[in-house]
Structure 1
Amino acid sequence: MNLLSLFVLALGLSIDAFAAAVGRGAANGAPHVGAVFKGALIFGVTEMITPLIGWAVGWAFSDWVEAVDHWIAFGLLAAVGGHMAWHAWTRDHDEPPPPKGLVGLIVTAVGTSIDAMAVGVSLALLDVDILVAAPIIGGTTFVMTAIGLTMGRRIGEAVGHRAEIAAGIGLILIGAGILWSHTMA
């Protein structure tokens, strides 16, 4: 997986954190710099750790699945992307805002990072250097969360769910590209 693909993947994984941050920003008003940094740091670090966990699991089982690793990577990315797009398309856009406070922030960060764990499994099967991938994923999420928190009130809910749909489709396309490159090579 090349660097551009890693950045696209990171952007796709950070969209749900961005959407949650937009919701928080819209519900809580304009946050101060410290709150933006704290929220972005919690989301970024969580999004960096979860693919490491997934990668460790995928690496542990990589010898057993080497012949079909590209199918597994495609399946996981397609499932995560499909779920992300479907959830954004079908959810009630009048949902209450995410829970407030530090605990609510951490719970939301973990909830939006589960997909990164599944992607981490795929990265291990594709022999991607996780020490490069995880910081890119975490850093991208940090930036996207900071933007979402800062501009939440102006961005609004309509853009948030469209971005989630696009990110889900993007993850499916990355998975299809992996499958294509392994089956056509």
Structure 2
Amino acid sequence: MEILTVLLLAIGLSFDSFAVSVCSGLNLPHIRFFQAAKIAIFLALFQAFMPLIGWLVGNSMKSLIEPVDHWIAFGLLSLIGGKMIIESLISSEEREIKNPLHIKVILTLSVATSIDALAVGFSFSTILDKILFAVVVIGVVTFIASMLGILLGKKTGPKINKYAEILGGAILIIIGVKILIEHLLVN
């Protein structure tokens, strides 16, 4: 898989964490750097390791799904991207976050924002032989996006949230279409 594709997938996946981070910045206007880093680390670790779990599960079934792997990747990425776009239309008041510095809250947010990454990891099993590079890129991109989201939440408010999720969803859909087209043109 191309480096650019992995980077774009990482960016697309990080938008859920970015949106949660913006809300965290809104809820904690006096958050300190190490508190923000704690939130970002949790989000990044879950976002990075969920694709690994999905990839491991998908690889164990590779022979069963190989004939339709491109359709699975396209379907999962399109569903996840569409879900992100639809969720972006929900008002930020309805998506208010409790104190993200509490361990239960940050764990819940980390799992919730990374479920999509689990499905992406499953689709990775159809197109990637090695996942380590993708896991590292996803983790680093999510950490940076989360730190920026907290900062933007503190400074600008919820206006950017909606557009970030729409962009992330669109990126995932485009990558799904790219995988499908590449496979159909080759075969």
Q: Same fold (TM over 0.5)?
A: yes
Tell me which residue corresponds to 1:166. Answer: 167
Q: CA RMSD in A?
A: 1.1
| Identity between Structure 1 and Structure 2 (%) | 36
The reply on whether 1:4 has 2:4 as its aligned counterpart is yes
**Deviating 4+ runs (over 3 angstroms):** none
Name the residue aligned to 2:155.
154
How many positions carry a matched residue from both structures?
A: 184
Per the alignment, residue 95 of structure 1 pairs with 94
Paired residue for 1:28? 28
| CA displacement at 1:80 relative to structure 2 | 0.6
What secondary structure sits across from 2:157 in the alignment? helix
Matched residue, 1:58: 58
Secondary structure of the 1:99 match is coil
Mark the CA change 1:96 to 1:80 in structure 2 (over 3 Å): closer, same or farther: closer
Report the TM-score when normalising by structure 1: 0.95
Given that 1:99 and 1:105 are in contact with CA atoms closer than 8 Å, whether structure 2 keeps it comes out as no
* Displacement after TM superposition at 1:7 (Å): 0.5
Q: Give me the TM-score of the superposition, normalised by structure 2.
A: 0.94
CA distance in 2, matches of 1:134, 1:128: 13
Deviations 1:27-67 (A, max 9, x none): 11031111011111111111111111110111011111111
**Structure 1, gaps ≥5 residues long:** none
Whole-angstrom distance in 1 between the partners of 2:164 and 2:87 = 12
Shift, 1:151, TM fit? 2.5
Whole-Å Cα distance in 1 between the matches of residues 140 and 19 of structure 2?
16
What runs of 5+ residues in structure 2 fail to find an aligned partner? none
* Structure 1: distance between partners of 2:142 and 2:67: 32
**Aligned-partner Cα distance in 2 for 1:4–1:153:** 31
Alignment of 1:96-135 (within 5 A): 97-100=96-99, 101-135=102-136
What is aligned with 2:82? Answer: 82
